[in-house]
Structure 1
Amino acid sequence: MTTHAGVTERGRDIAARVERFVRDVIVPYEKDKRRDSHGPTDAMVQEMRGLAREAGLLTPHILPDGGHLSHRDTAIILRASGLSPLGPLAVNTAAPDEGNMFLLGRVASAEQKARFLAPMIAGTARSAFFMTEPSDENGAGSDPSMMLTTAKPDGNHWVVNGRKTFITGAQGAKVGIIMAKSDEGATMFLVDLPMEGIRIERVLDTIDSSMPGGHSVIALENVRIPADQMLGNAGEGFRYAQVRLAPARLTHCMRWLGAATRCQEIASDYAVRRRAFGKALIDHEGVGFMLAENMIDLQQSALIIDWCADALDRGEAGTVESSMAKVAVSEALFRVTDRCVQVMGGTGVSRDTIVEQIFREVRAFRIYDGPTEVHKWSLARKIKRDRTPRDPH
């Protein structure tokens, strides 16, 4: 896998070790039957994490002191973990845990880190981020300012009521981050799961199948949360969400770049070996050109990821850069995986290889963490702001 300037020797070494581990140890688990329609079982995940722990590769992007590697180093490590849909789960770089760990590392108090963050870094606890709300109730979907879930103070507790949806991994999670609207504004709370008042109404049937616990609809009914479990300060929830969301959008791109790279490898091997109409498939321009276009899309994706990572490493918010990267990468990788399916024909839509699953997962990625159209709308608003003449008076 290509590396670039700005990556440290330590980052390269970790990424190389993660890649060998995923290819040699985790890829065989892709045939393991311990899964349901939403993803691998927690028992299977813990078994893989045990192997990662033995290899010294569990949560490899977080340092022993709790600090994070640079975003450039993280990029090549998460690409390597993404070579299998199971890789991020095995080495503990998967969403939503990766983004939640990043947020808690930046905002949580020392006591909150010891209670909620440490088990996540150790790989013994999964987490869930409760923000999105049902669109049929005009709740906060892609627009968190529409949030209907409320948080009211009651003595030394807060009482939260509302509904959430598409909450990834809520079933089986041990740590929750709940976003609700208080009088001060959007506010976040940390909770232990399961918890009284937090009820899973149903787990949605979705196109993807790599997330343990799936994506749930959640009812929050008079959830009493101690005041010391507020994350940061009341009314700062939107700001904290941005702390999490810009890097999390980018790490999605990193992981799925690894997955699409694997698809390209499989489709290329197939096209070289398979013969039709007197020659190898790769020698037919209709096939060879698709794989060549994939090379271009993959390289462009890598470059825009690195560009955004550089902005984050400089301490910039990266909001615009991460929106641009998320759109460019999710659309490019969908083209890549779609072409891989097409090159492989019937084999591409079968489950004889991992290509079919990665294609489905990347299709969902065009929606998760903000649909392409929402990001384009946000970027268009910035263009308008930047180009609108200011009143000189």
Structure 2
Amino acid sequence: MHLFHGLINSYGVFTACSHVPQTTVRGVADSSLTPLLEDIADISVDSEVSLAQLTTLHVGAQPRLTVRCTTPQAVVDTVTRLDAAGVPLLILGGGSNLLVADDEPLDLVVVRIECAEVSLDPHSGVLRAQAGAVWDDVVDTAVAAGLGGIECLSGIPGSAGATPVQNVGAYGVEIADVLLRVELLDRATGQVSWVPASDLDLAYRYSNLKFTSRGVVLAIELQLTPEGLSAPLRFGELARRLEAQGPGERRPVAAVRQAVLELRQAKGMVLIPGDHDTWSAGSFFTNPVVDPQHASDIQDKVRRLRGDEDAERMPQFPAGENQLKLSAAWLIDRAGFAKGYPGEGAPARLSTRHTLALTNRGSAHTADIVALARTIRDGVKTEFGVVLEPEPIWLGVHI
């Protein structure tokens, strides 16, 4: 079984860190682990919860234990002790970027990060958030204080600590644009230190924390702008909605946040508990990066099949030297997978609002979502010669 040791995105309710005077236990705890945890402050131990209850795809088996940590020190103490004992861990913010096997119990301990304090300096624009803070609440706090730079990242599900792990981005902005540093627990040494963003090798949906056991993010620090204006509007759909007059225009942060939320809600990309169109991991595939000749070949094929007008609308953006980034959602649609595919009655379907979201319609198992992901990937490869890479972390299953 493949185990991921990084920090996964989370959904949840924004709360300040609470201080639990001693370890609390729900259910019958694993007796072999109890001695390792019993004197750690600010944790609670749960032996009953499954990953289906902690992930936004609502699938996943039960781990040995789930340890909820409400302070950074509790995270440090829990992780270092379990690491020293050789216990496999899943560090979890809440599971919005995670697809977990559900066919048998998981031989691991979930360490869920729930510390959520946020502080900022409205004059300098520096904002600091603990890793368990719900990301959209961090954005809301910044916008309310008139700080610009992350308003385009509104509505993205997840925890603050997860944002640098995969360099979260949307609507022309990435966390790399504003990240100063992260507070990191080095799992090899047990040391805690602030690491500059320049040490993380941040790139498109990537950092050197992703897919590794290098460390656990405890907090992030961002440099925002204090004049109440957004980051330059670079994304066409958002700029059009705000009726921007030219490229790079800036608008009041509150207006941009509202526009982004409206766009995301229209695509089913904002979690609503009773709406199965939002039971997803967000964008399931990353946008592929290809060379210009491959992009031209794809455009020519679309031209033959669908005409000049559709071919000329093919999204493609510069992505470094001799590289272009294409739209995964656009390719999925042109490969014949419409919104809602494969149709009513299927336990796992494409969202009826956005072809990039694979959704659990309420009764799906992990195998259903995996089968749908493979069908989409293979169909796009057959049609266009492009291999779509999944964005969520796969735990115990493989595409």
TM-score, normalised to structure 2's length? 0.24
- Structure having the higher helix fraction is 1
